[in-house]
Amino acid sequence: MSILSTLEGVSSTVFSNIFIQLPYPEGDLSGQTIIVSGSNQGLGFEASRHLLRLGVEKLIMAVRGLKKGESARQELLKSTDREESSVEVWQLDMDSYTSVKSFVSRAAALPRLDALLANAGLATNTFSVSEEDEKTITVNVVSTFLLIALLIPKLRESASKFNIIPRITIPNSALHYIASLEQLDPQNESGIFKSLNNKEATNMAGRYPLSKLLVLFGVRAFVNRLSQSQAPLVIINTPNPSFCKSQLVRETDSVGLRVGERLLARSTEEGSRALVHAIMADEKSNGQYLTNCRVHSPSCIVTNGKGVMIQEAFFEEMVTKLEKIAPGVTSCF
């Protein structure tokens, strides 16, 4: 990471949280079906409340624990005065590729699908492996793009049938500005994922920022591939809600982070406005990083020559990985 990139990320967050108030979501989502993962708490929960308030016909709460999901569902219904049928709770464990595939099989039977808010994420200081990769990478990156790739056919079907432009939103973070590139050597013959799974070489304090950098690479590469298809457009964007009070840091033991959250963080509700804005954004947001509800340039790590090389190498590896998990999944592009 460069000093300039770090300063840009820090100054952007401080300025945003002190001087910028995000616009309250407005619009009409009547008739639409939207999936929100990680929706039983935090940003996903507050975004779901806004979506219901804006009239979404069917909200699918994709959660790991059905009991907690049902409790959150009842709270959402009560606070929005919506009918019982407007919200369903489905199980989705982003730590399991089998769960992701089962969830998508169920979603294929929906009459229509307008949008996916892929909000579920993980931040941890503990190195552990799941589904052959370090857990943060599995949950925040591989499973997220597996979910997206598997849902693309359903979104395109809805686009053709209902004359809509479906949307996919993956929350990001200004922390991607401080991500280290040490384990992202595009010329490493062993590959990027193998490097990321090297426990001895991994600084877990920087793993969450790195996962968000990989999401940016993935979104940009995914949109580039999809743009070559003649199939209906599906908008994919990645907004930064900025530093918010949420459950994301529950597994961290940083006193500084917790103090900073108390002094500087946006409320969870205000942060969720950025996610709702992105899920309703137009074609100008396609493939873009958003901050304060506007398209914003990501770190130079993403856009410079080295970043382009890393993006290409990383995405090729991810395509291979996704094909191994679900053969044929990448035929969407």
So which residues are the catalytic ones?
A: 208, 212
> Helical H runs in the chain?
3-19, 42-53, 66-80, 97-107, 135-137, 143-162, 192-196, 207-226, 255-264, 268-279, 300-303, 305-325
Residue 180 structure tokens: 């280290």
- Residue 70: burial class (beta carbons within 10 Å; 0-12, 13-18, 19+): middle
Cα–Cα distances (Å) from 169 to 25, 146, 226, 275, 322, in that order, read 16, 14, 15, 7, 19
Helix axes 305-325, 207-226, angle to 10 degrees: 80
C-alpha span between 73 and 45 (Å, rounded)? 9
C-alpha span between 169 and 280 (Å, rounded)? 9
Residue the block writes with tokens 């999809």: 226
- Residue 218: burial class (beta carbons within 10 Å; 0-12, 13-18, 19+): buried
Terminal CA-CA length for the chain? 32
The residues with which 60 forms a beta bridge, in sequence order, are 35, 88
C-alpha span between 98 and 100 (Å, rounded)? 5
C-alpha span between 90 and 99 (Å, rounded)? 11
Helix axes 42-53, 66-80, angle to 10 degrees: 40
